[in-house]
Amino acid sequence: MKVALWGCGGHASVVFETIRAEGKHEVVAFVDDHKSGLYLARPIFKISALPRDIGAVIIATGDEAIRDKLATMVTGDGRMLGTTIHPSAVIAQGVTVGEGSVVFAGAVLQPGASIGRNCIINTCASVDHDCIVEDGAQLAPRVALGGRALVGSRSFVGIGSAIINGVRVGANCVIGAGSVVVKNIPDNSHAYGVPARVVRKGEAT
């Protein structure tokens, strides 16, 4: 399938490499309403000018709020959200990965795990049995979720963090790098540390 990537930065280059390795899609264009020219030898279009024969777009930016907004624009334009999973990722039988999500090299998704729509499961992240990662959430590289943990919609879990078994991180949260989350984190919170403590409340950015 011909796909376009919305974004022209470092994250987009990792998505591009994931698609290349997977071998199921062909990246023929990039989308950026503020840039023009070429990126990775592919043309950059505004979304309004993207050729109609490109039926799927993968959001290739790391910011949760922006990714959510762009996904709505893509589907509103009558296009599909594309999904890509690196062939080195270990995906247990029965795991669900929602449309628009990307799973990078070395990630592990164990039985019963559920990954929502438009999520990022980053390099070498580990999602254990029966975990739920809700729509628009991102797990940074080497994040580890214990069994039955939950990460709420549009939340970001920073690099190297761990969330123990059964703990819930609410929606629109930011968990700082290297944190260990041992109790539930309420919606709209910023938390970090070992153990992680809420340091600020307010919508995640």
Q: Which domain does 108 fall in, by range?
A: 85-200
Dihedral angle, C-alpha 29, 32, 38, 41, nearest 10 °: -40
Q: What is the pLDDT of residue 204?
A: 45
- Distance of CA 39 to CAs 6, 43, 86, 181, Å? 11, 6, 21, 38
Whether the predicted model's global pTM rises above the 0.85 cut: yes
Q: Which of 46, 63, 82 is the last residue of a domain?
A: 82
Report if residue 150 sits inside a domain: yes
Q: Measured between alpha carbons, how far is 47 from 6 in angstroms, rounded to an integer?
A: 9
Q: Which of 51, 82, 113 is the last residue of a domain?
A: 82
Please indicate, yes or no, whether residues 69 and 114 belong to a single structural domain of this protein. no
Q: What angle do CA 26, 44, 57 make, to 5 degrees?
A: 45
Sequence-distant (6+) residues with CB within 8 A of 92 are: 109, 110, 111, 112, 113
Catalytic residues: 129
| Residue that is written with structure tokens 């062909």 in the block | 26
Q: Which of 82, 107, 139 is the last residue of a domain?
A: 82
Report if residue 205 sits inside a domain: no
pLDDT tens, N- to C-terminus, the chain (205 residues)? 999 999 999 999 999 999 999 999 999 999 999 999 999 999 999 999 999 999 899 999 999 999 999 999 999 988 999 999 999 999 999 999 999 999 999 999 999 999 999 999 999 999 999 999 999 999 999 999 999 999 999 999 999 999 999 999 999 999 999 999 999 999 999 999 999 999 988 754 4
Token pair for 177:
């790098």
Beta-bridge partners for 173: none
Q: What is the pLDDT of residue 203?
A: 55
Please indicate, yes or no, whether residues 170 and 144 belong to a single structural domain of this protein. yes
Classify residue 33 by burial, with Cβ atoms within 10 Å: 0-12, 13-18, 19+. Answer: middle
Q: What is the pLDDT of residue 29?
A: 98
Q: Measured between alpha carbons, how far is 78 from 140 in angstroms, rounded to an integer?
A: 30
When divided into structural domains, the chain yields a total of 2
